[in-house]
């Protein structure tokens, strides 16, 4: 899979941009704050239907403008050309067209255009909170499994409604006693909890299967990266049992506490991923270097796994990660860079990048891109 062309209008720092990419390695170099990450973000947008940096679509519209456009033309391994077009509006919902036809839901995007994005924040995937690791798991499954997208959305929709009811009820003073309040809430939650438990268990089972599969790749990749000195194991840490009846029981047991705090305290919204290196939890006990190596292994496993699942190489987006890695890890990453169409950003073109078979080199300056001819 490779991106042939991108067109931007009023997207972040870009007023107007039309750029053709090479099928191999593309370098975007330039000083800080010139628009390198903005361009990767736009490519990512066409894969995920949202930014990886913000949940607020409007931030992606050029300041003071009404609308933004991102249009991407890509080719699949079988040689088929496809096109994705996204319109963001200051006053209104974003809209989407696939191959020229309007699509109703953003979910229609999933499973079409595949990218793996690797940014400096990913290097701290291990040491950051569970939310980051859940996001990592969810984004990966969403790219290959539309059923999961639906289940996850339904779960969070019901969870939000449940939390709203808990919050409203916790403030409500109309009840004579707390027990009366609990009885009311229990009756109201009855139907919602059935849905919460249903979608929650589906989400957990899919996450568990994903982690198990991912580990097959991670074990091998990590062993290579650490030159055979470390064994990496992954464990999916589900916050509640993957069983509807048992999850329901926990919700009932927690009800009093949930009502006091006005939020649901148990469920897959608290899941985590445990990473063990030679038997110890690297989140808590790993050195900085071990944590980085583990993060790199996870990302490379993601890349490899996606390649096998979709049957072709996804587009690799590397946002300034080379300079963050030491020489031996840079070399490991470079192996993968050669196998995928890669768009790589950097402030300076260092030796590690110069040694790659670069297909095209672009210079980015204040939202204007110029091709750098053979250096
Ligand atoms: N909605 C927007 N409208 C106009 N300009 C924007 C908007 N959002 C961000 N910018 C500008 O884009 C620039 C940041 O671009 P970007 O994050 O792509 O930089 P970069 O080249 O990746 O830099 P670095 O090397 O520091 O990572 C900033 O100057 C910021 O002011
Ligand atoms: Mg950047």
Residues 131 and 277 in one domain: yes
Residue 248: name the closest of 293, 210, 197 by CA. 197
pTM to 2 decimal places: 0.89
The answer to whether the CB of 366 is under 6 A from ligand 1 is: no
Residues 264 and 166 in one domain: yes
Residues 130 and 230 in one domain: yes
Residues 175 and 225 in one domain: yes
Parallel, antiparallel or unpaired: strands 115-118 and 358-365: unpaired
Q: What is the pLDDT of residue 375?
A: 61
pLDDT tens digits, one per residue of 90-106: 999 999 999 999 998 88
The answer to whether the CB of 293 is under 6 A from ligand 1 is: no
H helix runs in the chain, sequence order: 36-48, 130-144, 146-171, 178-225, 244-261, 282-285, 288-310, 327-339, 351-354
Residues 128 and 244 in one domain: yes
Q: What is the pLDDT of residue 374?
A: 67
Residues 349 and 201 in one domain: no
Mutate to test the pocket of ligand 1, among 16, 17, 28, 33 (most ligand atoms within 8 A of CB): 33
Residues 95 and 168 in one domain: no
CB atoms within 10 A of CB 28: 24
Residues 65 and 171 in one domain: no
Ligand at minimal distance from the CA of 364 is 1
pLDDT tens digits, one per residue of 105-137: 888 888 899 999 998 888 788 988 999 999 999
When the pLDDT of each residue in the chain is averaged and rounded to a whole number, the result is: 93
Residues 322 and 281 in one domain: no
pLDDT tens digits, one per residue of 305-343: 999 988 999 999 999 988 888 888 888 888 888 889 999
Indicate the residue among 285, 312, 339 that finishes a domain.
Answer: 312
CA quadruple 248, 249, 255, 261: dihedral sign: negative
- State how far the Cα of 266 lies from the Cα of 233, in Å rounded to an integer: 25
What is the domain-level CATH number for residue 62?
A: 3.40.50.300
The answer to whether the CB of 62 is under 6 A from ligand 1 is: yes
Q: What angle do CA 332, 322, 226 make, to 5 degrees?
A: 30
Residues 253 and 110 in one domain: no
User: For residue 241, how far is its CA from the centre of ligand 2 (angstroms)?
Assistant: 40
What is the domain-level CATH number for residue 234?
A: 1.20.1050.90
Domain membership of residue 6 as a residue range:
1-114+314-375
| Ligand 1: residue whose CA is nearest its atom 12 | 13
Residue 137: name the closest of 154, 119, 159, 152 by CA. 152
User: For residue 62, how far is its CA from the centre of ligand 1 (angstroms)?
Assistant: 10
Indicate the residue among 312, 331, 355 that finishes a domain.
Answer: 312
| Ligand 1: residue whose CA is nearest its atom 11 | 13
Helix, strand or coil, per DSSP, at residue 221: helix
User: For residue 34, how far is its CA from the centre of ligand 1 (angstroms)?
Assistant: 6
**Chunked in runs of 10, what are the mean pLDDT values of the chain (375 residues)?**
97 98 96 97 94 93 97 96 97 95 89 91 87 92 90 97 92 84 89 95 98 95 89 96 98 94 96 95 89 90 91 94 83 86 92 88 97 80
Residues 90 and 145 in one domain: no
Residues 318 and 307 in one domain: no
The answer to whether the CB of 218 is under 6 A from ligand 1 is: no
Indicate the residue among 267, 293, 312 that finishes a domain.
Answer: 312
- Domains in the chain, number: 2
């Amino acid at each position: 899979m490779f991106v042939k062309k991108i067109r931007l209008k009023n997207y972040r720092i870009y007023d107007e941009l039309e750029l053709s990419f090479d099928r191999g390695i593309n370098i975007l170099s330039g000083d800080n704050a010139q628009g390198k990450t903005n361009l990767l973000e736009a490519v990512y947008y066409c894969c995920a239907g949202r930014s990886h940096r913000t949940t607020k679509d409007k931030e992606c519209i050029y300041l003071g403008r009404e609308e933004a456009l991102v249009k991407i033309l890509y080719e699949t391994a079988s040689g088929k050309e496809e096109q994705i077009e996204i319109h963001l509006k200051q006053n209104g919902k974003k809209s989407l067209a696939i191959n020229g036809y309007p699509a109703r839901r953003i979910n229609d995007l999933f499973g079409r255009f595949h990218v793996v994005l690797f940014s400096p924040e990913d290097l701290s995937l291990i040491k950051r909170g569970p939310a980051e690791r859940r996001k990592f798991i969810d984004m990966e499954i969403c790219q290959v499994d539309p059923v999961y997208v639906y289940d996850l959305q339904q779960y969070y929709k019901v969870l939000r409604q449940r939390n709203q009811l808990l919050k409203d009820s916790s403030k409500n003073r109309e009840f004579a006693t707390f027990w009366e309040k609990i009885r009311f809430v229990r009756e109201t939650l009855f139907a919602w909890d059935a849905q919460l438990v249903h979608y929650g268990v589906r989400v957990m089972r899919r996450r568990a299967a994903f982690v198990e599969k991912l580990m097959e790749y991670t074990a091998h990749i990590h062993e290579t990266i650490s030159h055979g000195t470390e064994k990496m194991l992954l464990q999916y840490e589900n916050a509640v049992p993957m069983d509807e009846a048992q999850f329901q029981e926990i919700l009932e047991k927690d009800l009093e506490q949930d009502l006091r705090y006005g939020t649901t305290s148990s469920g897959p919204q608290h899941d985590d991923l445990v990473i063990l290196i030679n038997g110890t939890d690297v989140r808590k006990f790993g050195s900085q270097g071990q944590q980085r190596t583990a993060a790199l292994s996870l990302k490379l496993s993601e890349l490899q796994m996606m390649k096998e699942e979709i049957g072709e190489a996804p587009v690799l987006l590397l946002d300034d990660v080379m300079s963050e890695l030491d020489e031996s890890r840079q070399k490991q990453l470079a192996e993968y860079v050669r196998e995928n169409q890669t768009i790589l950003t950097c402030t300076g073109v260092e030796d590690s990048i110069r040694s790659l078979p670069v297909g095209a080199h672009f210079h980015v300056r204040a939202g204007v891109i110029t091709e750098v001819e053979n250096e």
